[in-house]
């Protein structure tokens, strides 16, 4: 969970791209407030460049009406993707990515070699996909919406994380792994009113608030802060350690994409 975030606006990207990369691997707005994060701002990758691709094949440049960036920092970019029925994009590319489907549908993906594949995208599904280049067309009758998190970092040896402070191990009832591969992990944090976690850590990560609410964050030094987290918020945060308690009356649900590259 996190402290106040001043988000850019929206996340946009290749939801459907993720899938179209042949072998999908399973598994916010003005920067405002975030969840599952602390005030800690130091990180080995704090000086890393933003993830925005400079090449002409960047999805945001090719189809800005379909791919809307929300936040971009530390080599991680969060986007929201919206394809109405019949919408299609020209050939474009993505670095390694995580795709979380909000509203599912049916899409056809065409690769650079001309091969194509039709996919039924299920709402709530999550996948981690290697870098890919393709076109996408919504051939179904529904509007497809997804959150796309691109990780534009060198796939080097993973940084060693202390298993004893891993959020999933510290609070397994609150943090569920959705997909984990390529030194990238997608986790869903769900805190019902009154739920709390012990002190735990996250590596560099991006968050997207699915269902908002209010939470109290306690840092390693004992500092406390209460934050109101709005649905649709997104932020990229450096590695951090904290505990969290849902002090509101609604269930908090947050997608967290962690990278140990």
Kindly report, residue by residue over 95-124, the tens digit of the pLDDT: 999 999 999 999 999 999 999 999 999 999
Identify whether 41 is part of a domain.
no
C-alpha span between 39 and 47 (Å, rounded): 17
Across 8-12, 25-29, 118-122, the highest mean pLDDT is recorded for 118-122
217 and 240 part of one domain: yes
Domain boundary among 111, 126, 151: 151
**Would 75 be classed as within a structural domain?**
yes
Question: Does residue 156 fall inside a structural domain?
Answer: no
Report the C-alpha gap between 121 and 19 in whole angstroms: 8
- Choosing from 97, 128, 151, the residue where a domain stops is 151
121 with 21, same domain: the answer is yes
Which is more confidently placed, 86 or 38? 86
Strands 184-191 and 252-259: antiparallel
CB 34 within 8 A of CB 170: no
Check whether residue 88 and residue 67 sit in a common domain. yes
* First-to-last C-alpha distance (Å) of the chain: 21
User: Are 203 and 146 members of one domain?
Assistant: no
For residue 190, tell me if it sits in a domain.
yes
Shared-domain flag, residues 127 and 231: no
Q: Give the structural domain span for 115.
A: 8-27+48-151
Residues 128 and 181 in one domain: no
Kindly report the pTM of this predicted structure.
0.80
Query: What CATH number is associated with residue 91?
Result: 2.60.120.10
Same domain, 77 and 112: yes
Are residue 19 and residue 117 in the same domain, yes or no?
yes
Least confident of 23-32, 126-135, 148-157, 242-251: 23-32
- Is it the case that residue 202 has pLDDT exceeding 80? yes
Domain stops at, among 100, 125, 151: 151
3-class SS letters over the chain: CCCCCCEECCCCCCHHHHHHCCCCECCCCEECCCCCCCCCCCCCCCCCCCCCCCCCCEHHHHCCCCEEEEEEECCEEEEEEEECCCCEEEEEEECCEEEEEEECEEEEEEECCCCEEEEEECCCCEEEECCEEEEEEECCCCCEEEEEEEECCCCCCCCCCCHHHEHHHHCCCCEEEEEEECCEEEEEEEECCCCECCCEEECCEEEEEEECEEEEEEECCCCEEEEEECCCCEEEECCEEEEEEECCCCCEEEEEEEECC
Q: Are 253 and 146 members of one domain?
A: no
Per the structure, the count of domains in the chain is 2
Q: What is the dihedral of CA 91, 94, 99, 104, to 10 degrees?
A: -10
Q: Do 210 and 147 share a structural domain?
A: no
Residue 197, pLDDT above cutoff 80: yes
257 in Cβ contact with 98 (< 8 Å): yes
Q: What is d(CA 121, CA 104) in angstroms, rounded to the nearest whole number?
A: 5
**42 within a domain of the structure (yes/no):** no
Q: Are residues 189 and 105 in the same domain?
A: no
Assigned domain for 35 exists: no
pLDDT for residue 40 is more than 50: no
Mean predicted lDDT score pLDDT of the chain: 84
Distance CA 250, CA 25 (A): 32
Residues 146 and 170 in one domain: no
Pairwise CA distance, residues 183 & 8, whole Å: 26
């Amino acid at each position: 969970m996190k402290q106040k975030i001043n988000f850019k606006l929206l996340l946009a990207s290749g939801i459907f791209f993720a899938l179209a990369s042949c072998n999908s691997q399973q598994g916010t707005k003005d920067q405002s407030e975030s969840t599952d994060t602390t005030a800690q701002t130091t990180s080995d990758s704090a000086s890393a460049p933003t993830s925005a691709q400079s090449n002409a094949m960047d999805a945001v440049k090719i189809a800005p009406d379909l791919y809307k960036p929300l936040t971009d920092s530390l080599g991680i970019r969060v986007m929201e993707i919206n394809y109405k029925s019949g919408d299609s994009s020209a050939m474009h590319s993505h670095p390694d990515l995580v795709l979380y489907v909000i509203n599912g549908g049916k899409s056809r993906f065409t690769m650079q070699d001309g091969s194509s594949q039709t996919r039924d995208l299920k709402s709530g599904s999550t996948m981690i996909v290697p870098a890919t280049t393709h076109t996408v067309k919504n051939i179904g009758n529904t509007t497809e919406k997804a959150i796309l998190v691109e990780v534009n970092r060198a796939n080097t040896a993973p940084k060693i994380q202390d298993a004893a402070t891993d959020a999933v191990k510290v609070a397994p009832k609150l943090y569920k792994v959705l997909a984990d591969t390529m030194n990238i992990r997608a986790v869903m944090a769900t805190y019902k009113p009154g739920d709390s976690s012990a002190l735990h850590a996250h590596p560099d990560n991006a968050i997207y608030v699915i269902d908002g609410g209010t939470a109290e964050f306690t840092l390693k030094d004992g500092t406390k802060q209460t934050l109101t987290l709005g649905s649709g918020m997104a932020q990229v945060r450096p590695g951090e350690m904290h505990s969290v308690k849902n002090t509101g009356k609604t269930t908090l649900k947050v997608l967290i994409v962690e990278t140990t590259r």
